[in-house]
Structure 1
Amino acid sequence: MCGKPARRQHVVNNGDRACDAYSALIDQVGSLANVVEAIGNGIARPTGQSLARWQVLAEVEQEAAPVGAIAGRLGHTRQAVQRVADLLVEDELACYRPNPAHQRAKLLEVTPTGRAVLHRMQTAYTQLALRTTEGLDAERLHLARETLRELQRRLESELP
């Protein structure tokens, strides 16, 4: 495996075309992730929320779930998601209800107020998506996604 740069570090070419292209892509993905986070927080801010709160609300929009399951789907620690979930409950955007499958792992559920806030963020996101995808070929976007998915699968196989 070729060496990859640390996040936010610029790529150094090593002469292997695939490795150089891979390194440049990883660098670009890191830059894109920073922009996506800033945009997400910008969309969420007018509703008094953050990207983290938006993500947790979206995870329980269709079906209540335990915090551990939400954390697993988002790729975050259970403790981090628990803090966000507790804040959502405190602000009455979500609530906990008993979990018939597990006595201690309560289910987080979005409230009607939370659903309205989530809808406002989703509407703003849809408008952004329409603007930023105008003129782009959907097939190229699908190919980019599949390429990123394959790289993720390969990198995950490298994890200890």
Structure 2
Amino acid sequence: MESTQNGEVFTSIVLEVFKLSGLLVVEGDRLTKETGLTSARWKVLGALFLADQPMTVAKIAKTMGQTRQGVQRIADDMANVGIVEYRDNPHHKRAKYVMLTEKGEKTYKKLVDIQVPWAEEKSSGIDLEKMRTTLQTLQLMVKKFDT
């Protein structure tokens, strides 16, 4: 099968997203260093903080586009240092809820204080409408894989 311009551009976007993802992990690890976290833990922390309902490991993994096993390992590590705790889930005997502790909430808020100026700096000079278009395009691409 011969590739179309759509397929070629799509592939180029995917490659740039892979590159950006790697750069964001490195940058996230740098930003979280003083809190003792990693960018992977920050992602779990953010998913929990922004959720409007209690979440299980499986729900966190689906929200983040990660494997359940990977999120389980991260959640267990975070529970060991008191950032999250497991609570009984009345809807499922084995799938416990992962809940932020007070320490977890404070840590997340500290990370927001670090992230906001960083985002302002990194977005400086990029046209707002182009960023909005990029966001919408990435959201459409995510839907293609999420269904």
2:42 pairs with one of 54, 57, 74: 54
Task: Give the AA of the match of 1:28.
Answer: E
CA distance change for structure 1 residues 113 and 2 in 2, over 3 Å: closer, same or farther?
Answer: farther
Question: Equivalent residues in 2 for 1:61-72 (5 A)?
Answer: 61=49, 62=51, 63-72=53-62
Where in structure 2 are there 5+ consecutive unaligned residues?
A: none
Question: Equivalent residues in 2 for 1:64-83 (5 A)?
Answer: 64-83=54-73
Give the structure with higher Rg (CA): 1
* Cα distance in 1 for residues equivalent to 2:2 and 2:63: 29
TM superposition shift of 1:138: 1.5
Task: Give the AA of the match of 1:82.
Answer: Q
Taking only the aligned residue pairs, the percentage that are identical comes to 27
TM superposition shift of 1:111: 0.6
* Cα distance in 2 for residues equivalent to 1:20 and 1:105: 42
CA RMSD of aligned residues (A): 2.2
* Cα distance in 2 for residues equivalent to 1:145 and 1:2: 29
Structure 1-normalised TM-score?
A: 0.80
Higher strand share: 2
Which fold has the larger relative contact order, with Cα–Cα distance below 8 Å and residues 6 or more apart in sequence?
2
CA distance change for structure 1 residues 77 and 136 in 2, over 3 Å: closer, same or farther?
Answer: same
2:15 pairs with one of 11, 27, 38: 27
* Cα distance in 2 for residues equivalent to 1:25 and 1:110: 35
Task: Give the AA of the match of 2:38.
Answer: S
* Cα distance in 2 for residues equivalent to 1:140 and 1:132: 14
TM superposition shift of 1:20: 4.1
Where in structure 1 are there 5+ consecutive unaligned residues?
A: 4-15
* Cα distance in 1 for residues equivalent to 2:87 and 2:129: 42
